[in-house]
Chains A and B, each alone.
Chain A
Amino acid sequence: MTGVVTVLLIGRDDPAAAPLAKLLRGRGLNLTVTEAVADAMGDTPIWVADQVTFLMNAAQIGPGEDTCDVLLRPGLDAGRALGAIPLAIKRALQMRGELARFWAISEASAQALVHEYGIPVETLVPYDTSTQSIADLDISIARGTVRPINLPDSALLLQKVNLARLASRFKLTSTETGEGGDLVTLANESALAKVARAPLILFIVPSGPGLGHMSRSLAIAGQLSDYICDFIVYNDAAYLAADAKYRTYHRQSATQIGADSDSWRAWETAALSGYISTERPAAVIVDASHIDPYIVDALSDPGAEDTALIWVRREMWRADRQARSAVNGLHADLVIVPGEIAKDVRVSQARQDLSQCHEVSPVIFDGPQPPMTRRQARRALGVGRGRVCLVSLGAWQPDRVRDEIIAAARAHRVRLAWARSPLAAVAQGDDGIGDQVSLYPLNRYLAAFDGVISAAGYNSFHELMLRFSGPVLFLPVDQSGLDDQVARARFAAQSGMADMNTGNDVSTDLASFFGRFFGASSQSRPLQPENGAEAAARLIDHHITTRAGRADD
């Protein structure tokens, strides 16, 4: 941005800051938002979001009504001696001359403030505004909440929301007069402001034991050809996003570096908030089991009012993860649920009250290159002739199960290729288990194998069920903190798509599984009409263009 930059001086956690910033930007002001007046130098024009902040900084603000505008807000005198703030402002004006021009949000507030302060007060929003909405939200300053009128149990903390973002989707109302009513007027008006926005989308990929979040994010980004995509990645495989030609920022989570979580969150909030206010992305997309509070905090800051929060949240979490995942999900504008083949046993989710929620087909990352033929894949992996089985069990490889797999494969004269995570160390020397292969994305190389023994994480499960025709044996990992792999694998077994074993008497199932290598596979797989990534991209584009369109109405 170029030209004269106006400093918008705000108080801490002021819910009016974001809609005021958007309104002023929509009126052509080139803004920088700060809590410290020190950022305003010389003749820099200043907008001050409330009278208390103005008084705290009046000594540092130069005289001249052309350079300072102050928003007077009813109700901010609470807790102070009656008339103390109007008196202090009058004294400041007497001592330093015409310091500023004063504004109220609504005509009603302007009349009351003229009477109370005894100074000229102009009106920022001269008419009552309304927008079309999905639902009405009630703003309460007294309770510090925002709640849907038809869903009174679903309240968000006022301090944690960006009212300008909400106002772009909902009609805001308030039963309160004074500040509550003014906030609603300001936020509804800000929704009509037209502000230039980059065709940019930011994906945030959390850390995790595998590459599931990364794969789904890459799959969806690959379908958003009309947008520039940036990635902030907390996974050590951040290089994959850079490989796919996206601008990539690698970060480490508090857990990874053993950092104090409060301190870490404060720094991440600052970094993300800075990115959003500078780059002005149309959306932040988070594929995660839950939305970290730092993302919510950064999106509540002024400057993020035109940025949608989109949550990609696959289902089939174990019951012990359900409650945690719902926290902060209310802040998402759009929730996209990557589909599950194992629909009939899916753990049903409470839909997000304020979010539009859509389910799409299973999302699979096929990568930028086409899948290899059997010969190409075998050559690329260094796999020779004969029958070969891929074993992909992640970090879960108990010695007993591993030994039984080796013995059964040997008995059936099948070679094993053990999948190594892209994040794991390269094996040193011969550890007695056979070939190791590092594959990403897996389905590009699947033609090399005659059968697969695998855990049942979302990605592996759907890649094998929708991209592989040979026999599959699932050995699901049953651990807290993960998705419900047992339910997924059991569904596949009961539907005749694959075999499964939960770790008991695995030798019988292994004999049956390897026996399938020598005849026609009796396992049948479903057809996938469309990769869910395409539908997810259409939903994202529609959501973004609808938001922009509302401002153009």
Chain B
Amino acid sequence: MTNRQDHTIPLDRYLAVLKRNEVLARRLADYEHQSMRIELLSGRAFDVPRLRKGGPMSGALQTGTVPANAAPIQAPLARIAAHWDPESLPCVGVVMEGADVASVQALLGLAGELNAGAFARILFLVRCLTLIPLLSRYGFACQSVGTASVGEIGASVAPRYGLDQVRDLQSGDVLWQSKSS
């Protein structure tokens, strides 16, 4: 007869680990949020070395035929927020037009709300590619949409990420909504 060891974890210890993870996740999110705030408030958050001056516009790669049996991609919860089950949160597309003062202010506001209480996984739909290094540094999903219309963006991106709606960063207005929502 083998000597079987009990590998179960006492409930109180398990709950303590969960609690500690929650506290650490919260602290990390606060730290990342503070770093992002400092960058955004510096006025140089989107400064990148350029090959030429001019607006680096981008194209919007179409999703293509929706692949059979492929689940939508789960956009991540950014590192400035913490949640015990991020995949339970809806994925919302947010159109960011540029790095002007109003857009940066709106981004600061959105980051603050996400840090205070994660309510969605954000997919940034950017018109300008110089926005991507900063957004990606803080763990946001981004997709270049070029000059595509909001209707085209919704139709193309929604199946890939399971988006329910697309909103404007500055106004918060719903620009596109899936027919099922």
Chain A residues in contact with chain B, CB under 8 A? Answer: 34, 230, 232, 236-240, 242-245, 247-252, 256-260, 262-264, 266-267, 269-275, 278, 367-369, 422-423, 425-426, 428, 438-441
Contacts and interface: CB of A to CB of B under 8 A. Distances in A.
Contacts of B44: 426
A439 B49 contact: yes
Contact of A274 (B38, B64, B129): B64
Nearest to A34: B65
B56 A274 contact: no
B37 to A, nearest CB: 11
Nearest to B66: A270
A368 B35 CA distance: 34
Given A239-B130, A368-B51, A251 B143 contact: yes
A423 B133 contact: yes
Given A257-B141, A259-B74, A273 B65 contact: yes
B129 A272 contact: no
Q: Which of A236, A251, A422, A425 has the most CB of B within 10 A?
A: A425
Contacts of A270: 63-67, 70
Contacts of B142: 250, 252
14 contacts: A230-B59, A237-B133, A243-B54, A244-B51, A248-B129, A250-B144, A259-B73, A263-B70, A263-B72, A264-B73, A275-B62, A275-B64, A368-B51, A438-B48
B20 interface: no
B61 A267 contact: no
B136 interface: yes
Contacts, number: 135
A242 B73 contact: no
A258 B132 CA distance: 17
Given A271-B64, A273-B64, 20 more contacts: A230-B59, A232-B61, A242-B57, A243-B50, A243-B56, A250-B126, A263-B70, A266-B67, A269-B67, A270-B66, A274-B62, A274-B64, A275-B62, A369-B51, A422-B133, A423-B137, A426-B42, A428-B38, A428-B39, A428-B42
Contacts of B65: 34, 270, 273-274
B63 to A, nearest CB: 6
B64 A250 contact: no
Interface in B93-146: 126, 128-130, 132-134, 136-137, 141-144
B71 interface: yes
B129 A250 contact: yes
A257 B76 CA distance: 6
Nearest to A245: B52
A422 B71 contact: no
Interface residues of B, number: 47
Contact of B70 (A252, A266, A428): A266
B165 interface: no
B contacts with A: majority SS: loop
Nearest to A274: B64
B155 interface: no
Contacts of A367: 51
B43 to A, nearest CB: 10
List the 8 closest pairs (A to B, CB-CB), nearest first. A274-B64, A242-B56, A266-B70, A270-B64, A239-B129, A243-B51, A266-B67, A249-B61
B160 interface: yes
Contacts of B58: 238, 242, 248-250
B45 interface: yes
A423 B56 CA distance: 16
A256 B141 CA distance: 8
B99 to A, nearest CB: 11
B92 interface: no
B22 interface: no
Contacts of A256: 136
A245 B54 CA distance: 10
A425 to B, nearest CB: 6
Contacts of A251: 61, 143
Interface in B16-45: 35, 38-39, 42, 44-45
Q: Which of B64, B133, B136 has the most CB of A within 10 A?
A: B64
Contact of B74 (A248, A260, A278): A260
A191 B144 CA distance: 37
B150 to A, nearest CB: 18
A267 B51 contact: no
A248 B67 contact: no
A257 B45 contact: no
A423 B130 CA distance: 10
A528 to B, nearest CB: 22
Which of A267, A271, A438, A439 has the most chain B CB atoms closer than 10 A to its own CB?
Answer: A267
Contacts of A250: 58, 126, 129, 132, 142-144
Nearest to B159: A267
B136 A426 contact: no
Contacts of A240: 51
A272 B64 CA distance: 8
A238 B132 contact: yes
A368 B52 contact: yes
B152 interface: no
A268 B99 CA distance: 28
Most buried by A among B35, B128, B136: B136
Given A243-B51, A275-B64, A236 B132 contact: yes
A237 B71 CA distance: 28
Contacts of B67: 266-267, 269-270
B163 to A, nearest CB: 13
A263 B71 contact: yes
B45 A426 contact: yes
Contacts of B64: 270-275
B81 interface: no
A425 B39 contact: yes
A237 B137 CA distance: 12
A367 B67 CA distance: 39
Contacts of B132: 236, 238-239, 250
Nearest to B141: A257
